Structure 1
């Protein structure tokens, strides 16, 4: 369980530092917004580009990816259906659907894959699926739902190319698919900038906790509770049922799929919510609660399937 505990410990410490920064006011009143903008417009696109430009795209063609895709679509679809029935709005429902299904495959998934599963590459399928498939679609929906003047259809179809995170992901995939090698003088600065992404996201999340109420006590109680239950309980169960019952996965392969599905909601979802100014409380509380619950869930999964 060293991987589970060490991965969560790193995240908790950095979030705690962010909370202290917010409490002390070291970055002023606009510190969180600056960090969020830095992560969304600069650091995260650079990180996604450098990650995907050097990735082996062949890993996405596997049974594990199909399990991830179906389980992600299933739990996100449940939240979307409930959100539509309850009238939660497109933007808010999109953030909730992401919090229900988008796992922390990067800064938490990689160390857990190393220490629990024994191979960091095992998290690659879900990482690539989320970066290449889920992120551009979700951010396009948020762009289209953000209001403003109505644009022609051709401009709406090009919405993914207007989003820095989606653009960074697509550019990285294009470089990887072409087999090109980005020269060091270009890749090294982008890698350095990309390394700011995870700390900036976690610090901004920590700052946002200052002065916030306890989870599940505000107007967002229902969507937060739904998102957390879907993420922490339903998604791992769906992944297990699909992997074992439909695809016949056993042993290490089954453990890999269920562990990655049981990871909590990713912290960068709060960056998306903050950038579009929709569902911020929903994202913050769902991420916090799913991260806390992920510890016992992962321990149980590893004990039962390991």
Structure 2
């Protein structure tokens, strides 16, 4: 557990630093938005390309992807049962489905890299290559189909995926690894320098984006569905993974990815597609906070299974 604490505590501290800088006004909101854009377009793609290009995969990671995607789909479908809660609105139901299928890639990359080095980074990147498209498609359709006032422009989730630089980064990295093409030294070092900045800046922005005031507004619905997400996704991943023979490091990485909180950009998508923006903000704040407790429990399960 000490190794996990040594990996988790720096993540928490950097997220807290981002929150402090934002709340005190040391870094203006527009600066964090610029950092988000820089990370999305340049830094994260560099990290993913380098991690995947330098990886050596066997058959096990594909079982990992099967477990994660299956768990995503099942928990997303379970979110539809929220419509039967007393007083639940349609936009809130769509927002719950989105919360159930999204995950914080930055936290996953941070923990994977700190705990397992380059191999951990590569496996989390591979998970991102599969889970990001699935999460985007499910989220868009859930939000639009449950919006009270559908937006004037019909969303095109598949078109949006073709404009996502993370998807291209995953495809490039996987192609390089599949054909055993090694990056030239200069290219590798350049990508390494960009990748080193990706995680720290991403965590700072994630912290800045957490609305702590949302915690005071959050009620039973927020905390119940937050726990469903934080416990349910890794639990489903574990059951499915064990059933199909997933073990070792790929199992550990799958559980870590599944145990991360929902993605900070879920608020933006909820706002654009007619979701419940208040509930989306509450989920981000509650899950980011609760994950400090549920992630160590996930690591304990990993140790008990002997996956690492």
Matched, 1:82 2:76: no
1:184 CA drift (Å): 3.0
Unaligned runs of 5+ in 1: 115-119
CA contact (8 A) 2:15 2:207 kept: yes
Give the equivalent residue in structure 2 for 1:37: 37
Instruction: Report the 3-state secondary structure (helix = DSSP H, G, I; strand = E; otherwise coil) of the residue aligned with 2:108.
Output: coil
Asked if 1:235 is matched to 2:247, the reply is no
Name the SS of the counterpart of 2:213 in structure 1: coil
RMSD in angstroms over aligned alpha carbons?
Answer: 3.7
List gaps (5 residues or longer) in structure 2: 145-149, 272-279
After TM superposition, the score normalised by the length of structure 1 is: 0.74
Using the TM superposition, give the Cα deviation of residue 21 of structure 1 relative to its aligned residue in structure 2, in angstroms: 1.5
Q: Distance in 1 between matches of 2:5 and 2:183?
A: 36
By how many angstroms is 1:203 displaced? 0.7
Confirm or deny: 8 A CA contact 2:125 2:170 kept in the other structure. Answer: no
Q: Which residue of 2 aligns with 1:134?
A: 131
The question of whether the paired residues in 1 share the 8 Å contact of 2:230 and 2:294 is answered with no
Distance 1:265 1:165 in 2: 21
* 2:114 aligned with 1:111: yes
Q: 1:14-44 CA deviation, whole Å, 9 max, x = no partner?
A: 1222123223322224233222222222211
CA distance in 2, matches of 1:72, 1:102: 14
Could you say which residue in structure 1 is the equivalent of 2:5? Answer: 5
Shift of 1:212: 2.2
Mapped partners of 1:157, 1:17: distance in 2: 36
In structure 2, how many angstroms separate the alpha carbons of the residues matched to 1:149 and 1:136?
21
Residue matched to 1:295: 296
Alpha-carbon distance in structure 2 between the residues aligned to 1:10 and 1:38 = 22
Give yes or no for the alignment of 1:257 onto 2:251: yes
Counting matched residue pairs gives 287
Give the TM-score taking structure 2 as reference length.
0.73
Cα distance, 1:142 vs. partner? 5.9
Shift of 1:223: 4.6
1:225 maps to which residue? 224
Residues of 1 paired with 2:151 and 2:61: CA distance?
A: 37
